[in-house]
C-alpha cells in the first residue's frame, strides 16, 4: 500500500525510544523525514547513533517538552531545517503512578505538565506549518483513558484529556483540512514497561500474568503494530477521510477481556 509519505516531514515526540522509536522507523521505511524529539537518554542515543551510521533522514532534537519554549524551539528547528511540516505525532510521556492516595496536588499538576501540556504546546506551535500542508496530528493516548488502572490518577487524567483534545482539535481544524486522530495502546513491551516489570518480585511471572489476559494471541502488542496504525493515520492518501477517531490497538485487551 502506497501511503504517499515519501519526502513528508513529521515530528515525533519521544521518537527515539519505545513506541516512538517504532513510529520513527515506520515513517523512515515509508520515505518520510523525521524530527525525533526527546531527552536523549541511553535508548535515544543508541538509536540516534544507528540512524547516523545508516544515513537515515532523521534529525534528533534534545528537548524537555514540559517547557513550552522548548516545544516552540523544536518547531522552529523543523521549519529552518526542512521548510515544512506534514505531520505531528504527540507521543512523549510516562506513567508516573501519581495516585489519589499516593500523590498530592503538586505532583498531580507536575505530572500533567509532563504528560499532557506539551501535546497542546506542540500542536499550537506546529499549527501554521500544518495548515500550510493540510497535515495531520496523531495523539498517542492509552487504554488507561478508557478503563482506568488504579493508583495513577494523573496519568489517567492526561490520557483522557488527550482523547478530548483529539476530538476538539478535529472539530476546530476541520475547516482547514487538518485531520486529528488518536491511537490507544495497552500492553506494549517497551524499555519503560520492562523497567516496571523489573520492579516486580518475579518479572517473568508478572509478564505471563498479563499476556494470558490479552485475548488475541495471548501476547503483548508490538511497537510496530502501534506504529503501523499511526503511520496509516498520517497518510492523506489512504486515510484522508478519517478524523476525530480513537483507534485501540491492543489485541482486544480493553474490550474483549470478558471472553477469557
| List of residues 6+ apart from 58 with CB closer than 8 A | 24, 28, 33, 34, 35, 36, 48, 51
CA atoms of 13 and 179, how far apart (whole Å)? 18
Nearest to 165 by CA among 226, 120, 109: 120
At which residue does the C-alpha cell 524499555 appear?
191
CA distance 208 to 130: 43
Which is more confidently placed, 258 or 248? 248
Residues 73 and 70: their CA atoms lie apart, in Å, by 5
Q: How far is CA 163 from CA 14, 149, 177, 218, 254, in A?
A: 18, 17, 19, 27, 16
Percent of the chain whose pLDDT exceeds 70 = 98
- For each of the domains in the chain, give its residue range(s) and CATH number, in order of start: 9-186+223-250 (3.40.50.720), 189-220 (no CATH)
Angstrom distances, CA of residue 207 to CA of 145, 194, 257: 22, 9, 16
Q: Which residues are catalytic?
A: 155
Helix (H) or strand (E) holding 210: helix 203-211
With bands split at pLDDT 50, 70 and 90, how would you rate the model's confidence at 125? very high
pLDDT digits (tens, 9 = 90+) for 201-234: 999 998 999 999 999 999 999 999 999 999 999 9
Range 117-140 average pLDDT: 98
* Average pLDDT value over all residues in the chain: 95
pLDDT at 191 over 90: no
Q: Do residues 6 and 31 lie in contact, with contact meaning Cβ atoms separated by under 8 Å?
A: yes
The residues, ordered by sequence, that sit 6+ positions from 34 with a Cβ below 8 Å of its Cβ are 9, 10, 11, 12, 15, 24, 27, 28, 57, 58, 59
Residues 37 and 23: their CA atoms lie apart, in Å, by 12
Rounded CA-CA distance 8/21 in Å is 18
**pLDDT higher than 80, residue 257:** no
The 3-state secondary structure of 38-74, one letter per residue: ECCCHHHHHHHHHHHHHCCCEEEEECCCCCHHHHHHH
CA dihedral 44, 47, 48, 49 (to 10 degrees): 130
**Could you tell me which residues are beta bridge partners of residue 185?**
249
Rounded CA-CA distance 226/248 in Å is 9
Amino acid at each position: 500500500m502506497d501511503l504517499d509519505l515519501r519526502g513528508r516531514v513529521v515530528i515525533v515526540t519521544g521518537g527515539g525510544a519505545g513506541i516512538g522509536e517504532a513510529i520513527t522507523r515506520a515513517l523512515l521505511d515509508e520515505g518520510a523525514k523525521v524530527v525525533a524529539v526527546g531527552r536523549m537518554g541511553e535508548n535515544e542515543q543508541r538509536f540516534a547513533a544507528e540512524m547516523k551510521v545508516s544515513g537515515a533522514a532523521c534529525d534528533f532534537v534534545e528537548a524537555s517538552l514540559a517547557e513550552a519554549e522548548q516545544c516552540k524551539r523544536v518547531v522552529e528547528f523543523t521549519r529552518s531545517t526542512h521548510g515544512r511540516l506534514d505531520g505531528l505525532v504527540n507521543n512523549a510521556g510516562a506513567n508516573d503512578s501519581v495516585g489519589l492516595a499516593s500523590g498530592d496536588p503538586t505532583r498531580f499538576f507536575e505530572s500533567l505538565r509532563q504528560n499532557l501540556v506539551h501535546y497542546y504546546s506542540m500542536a499550537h506551535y506546529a499549527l501554521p506549518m500544518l495548515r500550510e500542508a493540510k497535515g495531520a496530528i496523531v495523539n498517542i493516548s492509552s487504554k488507561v483513558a478508557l478503563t482506568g488502572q488504579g493508583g495513577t490518577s494523573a496519568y489517567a487524567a492526561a490520557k483522557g484529556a488527550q482523547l478530548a483534545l483529539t476530538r476538539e482539535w478535529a472539530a476546530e481544524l476541520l475547516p482547514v483540512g487538518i485531520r486529528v486522530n488518536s491511537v490507544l495502546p495497552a500492553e506494549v513491551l517497551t524499555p519503560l514497561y520492562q523497567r516496571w516489570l523489573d520492579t516486580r518480585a518475579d518479572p517473568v511471572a508478572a509478564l505471563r500474568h498479563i499476556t494470558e489476559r490479552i485475548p488475541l494471541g495471548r501476547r503483548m502488542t508490538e511497537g510496530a503494530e502501534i506504529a503501523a496504525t499511526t503511520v496509516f493515520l498520517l497518510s492523506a492518501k489512504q486515510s484522508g477521510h478519517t478524523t476525530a477517531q480513537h483507534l485501540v490497538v491492543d489485541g482486544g485487551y480493553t474490550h474483549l477481556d470478558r471472553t477469557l
